């Protein structure tokens, strides 16, 4: 019987998940699996990876799978783009909000207060954060951290790690042992 880890779940569920996306269809499939889990709608998810790794692409697939229609703009210039998540068709999951951040151009910590980012991070809803390294120390631990690395052949090596109990349960549901969702 494994001992509980610091996130309150058995240690074997806290191990990061290593995935390979051969192409964008694999990226979309993983986003759909995550979107099927209601807890994702209240999660904070960091996206690590260099320029062009595929962070925005994955976020777009996740938001589409959560029912967002219309254009999903990259927040590169605005830093944040808000989205409305519609209730699911069966009415089991209520409507909610999502906030897609890209902190690549974030430089002034004063902006954290002035632009209201502190409030957004404290509010309920899904937070998707590109370039979280730029706001290190300003937020609490993310529920999930994805690290995406592009290979020379265009495939992506992906690592998914949990930082909270919510993240650990999402990660456990994503793990191959959990079976298809
Ligand atoms: N899983 C994938 N498989 C193949 N190509 C991909 C994949 N993900 C993204 N791409 C391609 O890589 C390019 C860059 O993707 P994207 O804009 O999502 O990167 P990013 O990590 O958000 O970059 P930035 O740091 O500039 O925000 C796009 O042309 C996209 O089509
Ligand atoms: Mg991007």
Q: How confident is the model at residue 1 (pLDDT cuts 50, 70, 90)?
A: very low
Residue 88 banded pLDDT, cuts 50, 70, 90: confident
Q: Is the CB of 103 under 6 A from ligand 1?
A: no
Percent of the chain with pLDDT over 70: 90
125 in contact with ligand 1, CB cutoff 6 A: no
CB 21, CB 53: distance < 8 Å: no
Is residue 46 within 8 Å of residue 129, measured between CB atoms?
A: yes
**57, 151, 156: residue to mutate for ligand 1 pocket, most atoms within 8 A of CB:** 57
User: 83 near 65, Cβ under 8 Å?
Assistant: no
CA separation for the pair 165, 162 (Å, rounded): 8
- Name all domains of the chain by residue range, CATH numbers in brackets: 11-178 (3.40.50.300)
pTM: 0.93
What are the strands, taking DSSP E only, across the chain?
A: 17-21, 44-48, 80-85, 96-102, 126-130, 144-150, 156-162
Q: How is residue 37 annotated by DSSP?
A: S
Percent of the chain with pLDDT over 90: 79
**Cα 28 from Cα 141, distance rounded (Å):** 25
Q: Which atom of ligand 1 lies nearest, measured to the CA of 50?
A: 25
CB 63 within 8 A of CB 100: yes
Q: Could you report the per-residue pLDDT of 127-147, keeping only the tens digit for each?
A: 999 999 999 999 999 999 999
The two structure tokens encoding residue 26: 């694999």
Quote the DSSP letter at residue 4: B
Does position 52 have pLDDT exceeding 80, yes or no?
A: yes
pLDDT at 67: 96
Given a cut of 80, whether residue 11 has pLDDT beyond it is no
Q: Please tell me the predicted confidence (pLDDT) of residue 5.
A: 65
Dihedral of alpha carbons 10, 35, 58, 101, sign: negative
Q: By C-alpha distance, which of 122, 124, 166 is closest to 140?
A: 122
Residue 35 contacts residue 126 (beta carbons within 8 Å): no
Q: What ligand 1 atom has the least distance to the C-alpha of 22?
A: 3
Structure confidence at residue 28 as a pLDDT band (50, 70, 90) = very high
> Which residues sit with Cβ closer than 5 angstroms to ligand 2, an ion?
55-56, 130
């Amino acid at each position: 019987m494994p001992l509980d880890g610091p996130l309150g779940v058995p240690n074997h569920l806290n191990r990061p998940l290593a995935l390979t996306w051969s192409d964008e269809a694999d990226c979309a499939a993983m986003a759909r699996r995550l979107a099927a889990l209601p807890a994702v709608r209240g999660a904070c998810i960091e996206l690590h990876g260099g320029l062009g790794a595929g962070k925005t692409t994955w976020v777009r697939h996740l938001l589409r799978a959560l029912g967002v229609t219309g254009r999903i703009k990259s927040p590169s210039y605005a830093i944040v783009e808000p989205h409305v998540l519609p209730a699911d068709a069966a009415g089991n999951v209520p409507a909610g909000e999502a906030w897609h951040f890209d902190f690549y151009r974030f430089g002034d910590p004063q902006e954290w207060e002035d632009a209201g980012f502190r409030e957004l991070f404290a509010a309920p809803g899904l937070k998707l954060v590109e370039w979280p390294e730029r706001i290190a120390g300003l937020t609490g631990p993310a529920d999930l951290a994805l690290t995406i690395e592009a290979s020379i052949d265009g495939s992506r090596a992906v690592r998914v790690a949990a930082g909270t109990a919510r993240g650990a349960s999402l990660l456990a549901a994503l793990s191959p042992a959990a079976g298809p969702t």
